[in-house]
Structure 1
Amino acid sequence: MSHPILPKRAIAAHFLPDRYRYWYSLSKLAIDPLYAAAPGAFRDASEPVLDLGCGIGLLLHCLRASGRNLPYLGVDTDAVKIEAARNASARGCHNDASFEVCDLSVRFPAHRGSVALLDVLQYLPLPAQGTLLSQAAECVSKKGQLVIRTGLADGSWRSAMTRATDRLGHWVGWMKTSFKAQPSAQELRAGLRRHGLRAEFKPLWGRTPFNNWLVVAQRP
């Protein structure tokens, strides 16, 4: 299935006058294959989206630019990123969208519908990954999807490169937490199956050296 062509500069412009956020979002949209693929992952969703670890909220802009006008809640522990997300959402005139500062280890938002878990699992130790997956899976409705982007532990050079880059992201200050662990495909699939979700795994490398995968799970 072909991916939509996103209006990258128009989306990035929502983060102005912050030039750093503008160029960061533009580079992510241009280089990272996640944002072109994410709207298609939600193609069958018709209920609200909870974006866990939403950062500056790029997923919202990509969904809306692709015509998926689903109600949206983004949560993240980083208050600075949440403020940037709120400002950009307001400039984009995105209705029925909100952002909250939330530590998921303390409070998990009440939700029913679809859930996005993009580039989050690797910053948690394996037991905490299992807990978060369980909480996210319980939110998924019959018409919803759980959409995950994560690196996978498979012994490949891409896996090692992904771990190193995640640690670098913490060292330069973009991520508050450092890399903890990558799940294996077997562990992730089994965990989702325990919650009644059937998962489809697709490589999402694009032109990057990273061992990233897009996982779309839903109820049979």
Structure 2
Amino acid sequence: MSGFIKVLLTGSTGYMYGRTSETFLSTADKCDAATSGGSNIAALSSSGKYLGPRVFSDKENIHAYEKYRESLHSYAQRAAEIAVVETGLATGVRTTVIMPPTVYGIGSGFFNRLSVQIPNVIQAALNHSRAIRIGDHNAVWNHVHIDDLVTFYEMVLARIVEGKEVPHGEKGILFTDGGEFAWTELYEGVAKALKKRGKLDTEELQVLSLKEAAETFTGGDEYSVEAGFASK
């Protein structure tokens, strides 16, 4: 690099790959830290797809597995992440993808301070006048607090600035994990909290099929709603 390090930090690649790609193609002396999501490799237990008795490690070739999954069914976030990594390989940009699960907590930034999944579940409960549950009630997922996720970003960026090795390219997909939760636990927690605040009359959950949930959350895309709200 030319005397100093340029770092391009991007948000969820599924929503902004076009712009990220333009930046890659205009310069080849950047390090890129992109955000993706664990739903890219999720098992979809409600529909019975991609089930397997395995726990993933970011020491594996996750990029290859994502390409395999993408060959079976296209998922915008995953497709964009694959393209980011492969564009980086083609242009000499070192890419490191940070792949968090469900993010919870309130951020301390100046702009958006909330994640996506939990606020959407809360808003859906308010819209339906009942808290909702989607899909397989036994599904378990992972979580990370926003403060811990930020700390992880800081650690990665510090290593880049200090010239230390950071996994990149096909090997540069890093997981963050603070523990597990059951989706039903989340849905029941939302019901209890909203009833306690007088926003709902009951803690009873309204069970939505994948089709109904897709109409509520993802414009009819059943794959995305299961990956985002009922996967494991």
User: Which bracket does the TM-score occupy, shorter chain normalised?
Assistant: under 0.3
Question: Greater CA radius of gyration, 1 or 2?
Answer: 2
Question: What's the TM-score once normalised by structure 1's chain length?
Answer: 0.26
Structure (1 or 2) with the greater helix fraction: 2
Question: What's the TM-score once normalised by structure 2's chain length?
Answer: 0.26
